[in-house]
């Protein structure tokens, strides 16, 4: 839990910085990932759109098998704008940095995507999805969260 608070504190500082710029693009979203099925993997994600349009994503996970390697994770969306965890219908993705399971089963992944590479996000609903890393490198969902929560920035 201690780590989670440190994680959120860092994210909060970044969020305040983004909002202080008073730019119309600034936007912060926070969401909790829930285990898919019986994976036991959950976590938190903070998504920050900076004033220049860059997207920063901070993802923290817990409940992974200790030292079990790298896990692919993405923001999923679709043309219809109705992507969600339950349907797993986000056929388009924004790739995030792989998350590396530490000896305590937690992982922290930070990704910054330049504005020019964020053309379609966010359109409608999206979700952050963590994938199993076996038997294939990018397996089915093991933890997921719909991203439709808070928007603190002025639009
Ligand atoms: Cu994915």
Contact 61, 45 (CB under 8 A): no
CA distances from 49 to 31, 54, 98 (A): 15, 6, 20
C-alpha 131 to ligand 1 mean position (Å): 6
Q: Report CA dihedral (20, 21, 25, 31) to the nearest 10 degrees.
A: -30
Q: Which of 57, 37, 70, 59 is nearest to 140 (CA)?
A: 37
Q: Which residues surround ligand 1, an ion (CB under 5 A)?
A: 74, 129
Q: In CATH, what number does 2-147 get?
A: 2.60.40
Tens of pLDDT, residues 15-47: 666 555 555 667 888 889 999 999 999 999 999
Give the pLDDT confidence of 108-137 residue by residue, as tens digits: 999 999 988 886 555 688 999 999 999 999
Ligand 1 centroid from CA 76, angstroms: 6
For residue 77, how far is its CA from the centre of ligand 1 (angstroms)?
10
């Amino acid at each position: 839990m201690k780590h989670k608070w440190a994680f959120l504190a860092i994210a909060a500082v970044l969020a305040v910085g983004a909002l202080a710029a008073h730019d119309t693009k600034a936007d912060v979203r926070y969401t909790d990932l829930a285990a898919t099925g019986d994976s036991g993997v959950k976590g938190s994600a903070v998504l920050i759109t900076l004033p220049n349009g860059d997207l920063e994503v901070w993802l923290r996970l817990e409940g992974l098998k200790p030292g079990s390697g790298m896990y692919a994770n993405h923001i999923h969306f679709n043309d219809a704008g109705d992507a969600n965890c339950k349907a797993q219908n986000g056929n388009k993705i924004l790739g995030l940095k792989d998350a590396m399971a530490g000896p305590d089963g937690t992982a922290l992944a930070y990704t910054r995507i330049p504005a020019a590479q964020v053309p379609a996000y966010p359109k409608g609903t999206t979700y952050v999805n963590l994938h199993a890393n076996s038997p294939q490198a990018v397996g089915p969902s093991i933890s997921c969260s719909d991203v439709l929560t808070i928007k603190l920035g002025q639009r």
